[in-house]
Amino acid sequence: MQGEQRAVRVRVSGTVQGVSYRVWTRGEAMRLGLTGWVRNERDGSVTALIAGADGAVTAMIERLWQGPRGALVSKVEIEEAAGDVPADFRIIV
């Protein structure tokens, strides 16, 4: 990857569980060449760690507002992240 690298932690709220949001997120992240993970939270939200080229991370954040069919996103909270990032993009439990 070229250009600035960036990692963010994102919390997505709304109707995002029970609609394959994690599987969709993994697919979109892989298409963009991103690494990280995504997981469901007990409060009904979804959290993801997304890392890669700055432009790809920005594109992914925009896509998170859409989500898969059936999703209804009400909020996307973003914070810059640091630390270990997996070499792939995985769904974690």
Among 11, 40, 63, 90, which one carries the catalytic annotation?
A: 40
Say whether 40 is catalytic. Answer: yes
Centroid of chain to Cα 35: 9
Name the β-bridge partners of 32.
none
Q: Please give the C-alpha separations between residue 66 and each of 13, 16, 84, 88, in angstroms, as whole numbers.
A: 12, 10, 27, 23
Say whether 22 is catalytic. Answer: yes
Q: Which residues are catalytic?
A: 22, 40
